[in-house]
A and B are shown apart, each in its own frame.
Chain A
Amino acid sequence: MSSPKRGIVVESRPSKIKENVDMPRFRSLPSAPELGTSGRSIEGAVDRPAITSVYMSALTPSRLRARSDQDRPGHRLLVREPLRLDCGIDFGPFTIAYQTYGKLNLDRSNAVLVCHALSGDQYVADPHPITGKPGWWETMAGPGLVLDTDRFFIVCANVLGGCMGTTGPQDINPATGEPWALSFPVITVRDMVRAQKRLLDHLGIDTVFCVTGGSMGGMQVLQWAASYPESVFAAVPIAAAARHSAQNIAFHEVGRQAIIADPDWCGGRYLSLGRRPVRGLAVARMAAHITYLSEAGLHRKFGRNLQDRHAVTYGFDADFQVESYLRHQGSTFVDRFDANSYLYITRAMDYFDLAAEHGGSLSSAFKGTRSRFCVISFTSDWLFPTSESRELVHALNAVAANVSFVEIETDNGHDAFLLHEPELFETLRGFLTGCAEHRGLTRSW
């Protein structure tokens, strides 16, 4: 594994934060219509040429290779000391790719750790190096925003098993000289968090002011609070749950089977063979993307509107806008994501069950915690419904933890945490302001 020297953080390009974002966006969608934002019309969807098939997005040969990470912007840390994973393997050395925004104060007390979701990455607030699209939480993190980079030092690391610079199945296994593929160990959310802890130790941050993230990011937040309670001053799990439900595991299984059924997957060895299972990965993404939206949201954005035509074609072209949109989601996803990473990360989410780690009692996971929690859910999120957040709140109450719980009304479904939700921003800003006062951080915003 070619990596920087021990303990040295290599910065290829300084992180840069763009000026205030003008409008909220869909995550990482190049030419997709901005349908996720309230108040936007869907004309864009009509104007855009229909993507008739995900098969059209065949990748250029250069993209079939394992990507070189060295030219990616951001920081990299080589962790030499192996990490004991939940599966029992001592894994390492490995690389953590991460981004930082803002400055760490002298007390090292203003760090905010952002944990990304399944298909996210460390590019929270600067352009994605592959798609060129704005950071996935650019509406949340930046100067003067809720995660104010003038006040906080924001860190986000690509998860273990990911495909944006942190060691994952697409990287070369030094023992074989081939990509890890399925010989990569199965990782868990707790393993991801253990890796992040190494990073924070390296940065000299004993206590994080706040750990936050949505979806799988929220799972990591909870894992942080359970595994390292002394290191977490405030925890904000958004649209998350303390365990992955049967329904969610089922959806993940559909996605994985789509990848595995793709002939180009080749038992996971596609990179060595110069192939990529783009069709399977695209279908996985399409199926998953439906779960991120809500019926009401889909109806509002698309209804039964037709795509670039006045009548149905009596065929299997993308007659409907919603089909075109999903195909677009699928085809753009494969440009930036590795199929085996998708298998590993979905598996990590499936295995997540915080109560199981603590003898079946969720409240035991938080016993004695002094962290301040703010649990946030969305009314139309059926992937991580409010009932699961409420269960978490009850568990926290059972140990008399300091917890706030907010449900935000929206029809944006699970994806709401990535979109422009003013109430989410206000709530989180208020919560962080209160926490900052208790933490003794300068109150000047």
Chain B
Amino acid sequence: MPAPSRSTALDFGGPDSQPAAMDSAAGGLRRDLRLIAEMIDPGARVLDIGCGDGALLAHLVRHKNVDGRGMELSQSGVNSCVGHGLSVIQGDADRDLEVYPNGAFDVVVLSQTLQATRQPRKVLETLVRIGRRAIVSFPNFGFWRIRLHLLFCGRMPVSNLLTHPWYETPNIHLCTIRDFVAMCDEIGVRVERSVTLDRHGRPYSLDPRGSLANLLAEQGVFVLSENLCNIKAAAHAAGQQG
């Protein structure tokens, strides 16, 4: 699977689209990453999955003093990150997350990568297991421009966020915001907070369950956690087994 590198596979267009500098101040970060950075407390233990060139991680380490780790599929991305002093491993969200213990991180970030995983549902379940919170951002396939593109052109949409033609896209599991929320409900993942971004990266506080968000948002950023009921049920089951 080709690497869904943040700076290449998903180009946002506009002033924030340049590959992020390693020592970027918040202003230099891509909009969605800036939003994610704001959601993370100083000093937190953070795992950034699909960390690309390490822009978010570098920002968090420098400006928020987090204990930051990264995982990236592309070897060149990893080597560059490590060469810049970041703790990053070469790895794959589908294959290399399982080994982490429960609650290993305060926050696990999966930005613009979920749609490129082979088993998004399993990945999501793992995220909320290994992190107290997971922050997930993804492109909304229900965005009105994408709908119109398919309706009028009759061809697979190519947009600012989805730049690859169908035959070479790493994005194999695209979904709409409504799909995503439905899956969270199904597997008992709690949506603590959601922010939808329009095509200029401006945040809107629309109800992610409403049809407006699904139509107007080009992407969504979700803060998720494991449903407490699930944890209690698991603990109960473990207790019974013991």
Contacts from A to B (Cβ < 8 Å):
372, 374-375, 393-395, 397-400, 402-409, 423, 426-427, 429-431, 433-435, 437
B211 within 8 A of A: no
Q: Which residues of A are found within 8 Å of B78, using beta-carbon distances?
A: 404-407
Q: Which residues of A are found within 8 Å of B87, using beta-carbon distances?
A: 372, 402-404, 434
Q: List 6 A-B pairs, Cβ < 8 Å.
A: A397-B89, A397-B100, A398-B99, A398-B100, A406-B90, A407-B75
CA distance A372 to B100 in the complex (A): 16
Q: Closest chain B residue to A400 by CB distance?
A: B104
When the two chains form their complex, are residues A400 and B101 in contact, meaning their CB atoms are under 8 A apart?
yes
When the two chains form their complex, are residues B82 and A374 in contact, meaning their CB atoms are under 8 A apart?
yes
Name the distance in Å between B2's Cβ and chain A's nearest Cβ: 17
B210 within 8 A of A: no
When the two chains form their complex, are residues A430 and B96 in contact, meaning their CB atoms are under 8 A apart?
no
Total contacts A to B, CB within 8 angstroms?
70
Q: Closest chain B residue to A438 by CB distance?
A: B85
The majority secondary structure among interface residues of chain B is mixed
By size class, the interface of chain B is: 20 to 34
What string of 1s and 0s marks CB contacts (under 8 Å) between B81-112 and chain A?
Answer: 11111111111000010011100110000000
When the two chains form their complex, are residues B99 and A394 in contact, meaning their CB atoms are under 8 A apart?
yes
When the two chains form their complex, are residues A406 and B96 in contact, meaning their CB atoms are under 8 A apart?
no
Name the distance in Å between B60's Cβ and chain A's nearest Cβ: 14
Choose among A393, A398, A431 the residue that contacts B89 (Cβ–Cβ < 8 A). A393
Q: Which residues of A are found within 8 Å of B81, using beta-carbon distances?
A: 404
Give me the 3 closest cross-chain CB pairs, A-B, nearest first: A434-B85, A430-B83, A405-B89
Choose among A375, A397, A405, A431 the residue that contacts B85 (Cβ–Cβ < 8 A). A431
Name the distance in Å between B144's Cβ and chain A's nearest Cβ: 41
CA distance A394 to B100 in the complex (A): 8
Given A405-B90, A423-B79, A429-B83: 16 more A-B contacts, CB < 8 Å = A394-B96, A394-B99, A397-B99, A398-B100, A399-B101, A400-B105, A402-B69, A405-B91, A406-B75, A407-B75, A427-B82, A431-B82, A431-B85, A434-B86, A434-B87, A437-B85
When the two chains form their complex, are residues B67 and A402 in contact, meaning their CB atoms are under 8 A apart?
yes
Q: Closest chain B residue to A374 by CB distance?
A: B82
CA distance A260 to B99 in the complex (A): 44
CA distance A153 to B233 in the complex (A): 54
When the two chains form their complex, are residues B85 and A433 in contact, meaning their CB atoms are under 8 A apart?
yes
Q: Which residues of B are found within 8 Å of A430, using beta-carbon distances?
A: 82-85
When the two chains form their complex, are residues A397 and B96 in contact, meaning their CB atoms are under 8 A apart?
yes
CA distance A375 to B89 in the complex (A): 9
Q: Which residues of A are found within 8 Å of B69, using beta-carbon distances?
A: 402-403
CA distance A306 to B82 in the complex (A): 43
Q: Which residues of B are found within 8 Å of A427, using beta-carbon distances?
A: 79, 82-83
When the two chains form their complex, are residues B79 and A406 in contact, meaning their CB atoms are under 8 A apart?
yes
Q: Closest chain B residue to A430 by CB distance?
A: B83
What string of 1s and 0s marks CB contacts (under 8 Å) between B127-147 and chain A?
Answer: 000000000000000000000
What string of 1s and 0s marks CB contacts (under 8 Å) between B59-79 and chain A?
Answer: 000000001010000010011
Which of B81, B82, B100, B101 has the most CB atoms of chain A within a 10 A radius of its CB? Answer: B82
Name the distance in Å between B95's Cβ and chain A's nearest Cβ: 10
CA distance A9 to B35 in the complex (A): 58
